Amino acid sequence: MGNPKRILSVDVPGGREGGYVLANHTELYEGSLVCGPILFTPEKSLTSDFLVLANLLDWAKPQLIILERPFLYQISGYIGGIMMACAERKIGWWQIGPSKAKKLVLGRGKASKEDVLKWAREVWKGKGELTQHSADALLYYEAWREDPK
């Protein structure tokens, strides 16, 4: 895949919201990060959710997408949907489990959600508010950067 410049890290929903971080990884923490929520409409179908994710890919135009390795049944469908959409668009993906990401970035694989959010807010300081899902997406992105691959 070479050295991708435009990377989308996604925390898929366990409920009705997810989060993303879009980055140019060569300029991390220097204004090149954009984050936000991925919002789904509860009264609509799973098909609608997949279209939201596909539209995110089309908007972001990433060369690589970073995904959480599924550990819960309820997120595996979303991850599979993103992988299919990536395959159709010829976008590569990289996955990591939450514990491994926390170990790489925070030094503790069992760090709490609050620990991740606190870390992410320090990294994101002055750039706006982060949701827990965007903080998780930032964690997965940073894990990708730190992973010896």
Other beta carbons less than 10 A from residue 81's beta carbon? 18
**pLDDT level of residue 29 (50, 70, 90 thresholds):** very low
Name the residue with higher pLDDT: 57 or 42. Answer: 57
Q: What percentage of the chain carries pLDDT values higher than 70?
A: 87
Mean pLDDT of 44-69: 89
Q: Is residue 124 over pLDDT 70? A: yes
Q: Is residue 4 over pLDDT 70? A: no
pLDDT for the residue 92: 93
Beta bridge partner(s), residue 36 = 20
Closest Cα to residue 147, out of 86, 82, 103? 103
Closest Cα to residue 92, out of 26, 8, 21, 35? 8
Strand 64-68, strand 92-96: pairing = parallel
- Domain range list for the chain: 6-146
Fold category of 6-146 in CATH: Nucleotidyltransferase; domain 5 (3.30.420)
Sheet of 92-96, strands arranged across: 34-39, 17-24, 6-11, 64-68, 92-96
